[in-house]
């Protein structure tokens, strides 16, 4: 029997907003999918296209960058830079024939525990619909070949 597809998702979360919002979601006992693996960053401006691409290259089915609401960045424009970089990665994905929806920029404030949980659910659902990424699909096939 084929195992149901459980997407691997990497979320780069800013310490000052999304990461705190994730904490709040936890303390409010709001559930969000275990598929989402959080990487805390000091500011989303720290996230380079290479981090997003390497995550996808190493098998993540989707990656999102969660930063502060526009105008609220602790370092002024880190979230705006991050949004540009996400767009750059999306354009690169299009160029190599990948679905650019696998990468997204999301914004929220530290108090938005509900929004954190909701966006985590929504993004996971979206990736579930898109199916395994070409890398994880190749990995599964390699795995299948190895046992047969």
Partner 1 sequence: MITAVRKPMEEIIACVAPYDRILLVGCNECVSVCSVGGRKEVALLASALQMHFLKQGKTMDIKEITLERQCDPEYVEELVNLTDGADAILSMACGCGVQTIAGRYREKPVFPAVNTTFMGASERQGVWSERCQGCGDCVLGITGGICPIARCSKRLMNGPCGGSSNGKCEIDPNIDCAWQLIWDRLKALGLERRIEDIMEAKDWRTSRDGGPRKIVREDLAS
* Shortest Cβ 109–partner 1 spacing (Å): 27
CA distances from 129 to 6, 28, 104 (A): 11, 28, 15
Nearer to partner 1, 77 or 118 (CB): 77
Nearer to partner 1, 30 or 92 (CB): 92
Nearer to partner 1, 2 or 145 (CB): 145
The DSSP code sequence of 103-128 is: EEEEE--TT-HHHHHHHHHHHHHHHH
Count CA atoms closer than 13 A to 53's CA, side-chain side. Answer: 13
* Shortest Cβ 54–partner 1 spacing (Å): 6
**Under the phi-then-psi rule, with left for phi > 0, alpha for psi from -120 to 50, and beta for the rest, what region is 137?**
alpha
Nearer to partner 1, 52 or 110 (CB): 52
Contact residues for partner 1, defined by CB under 8 A: 48-50, 53-54, 56-57, 92, 95-98, 134-135, 138
């Amino acid at each position: 029997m084929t195992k149901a597809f459980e997407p691997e998702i990497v979320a780069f979360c800013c310490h000052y907003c999304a990461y705190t919002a994730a904490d709040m979601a936890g303390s409010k006992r709001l559930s969000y999918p275990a598929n989402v693996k959080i990487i805390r960053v000091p500011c989303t401006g720290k996230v380079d296209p290479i981090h997003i691409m390497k995550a996808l290259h190493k098998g993540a089915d989707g990656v999102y960058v969660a930063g502060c609401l526009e105008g609220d960045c602790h370092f002024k424009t880190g979230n705006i830079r991050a949004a540009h970089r996400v767009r750059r990665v999306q354009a690169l994905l299009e160029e190599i024939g990948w679905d650019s929806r696998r990468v997204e920029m999301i914004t929220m404030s530290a108090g938005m525990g509900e929004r954190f949980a909701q966006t985590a659910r929504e993004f996971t659902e979206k990736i579930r619909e898109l199916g395994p990424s070409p890398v994880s699909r190749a990995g599964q096939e390699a795995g299948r070949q190895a046992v047969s």
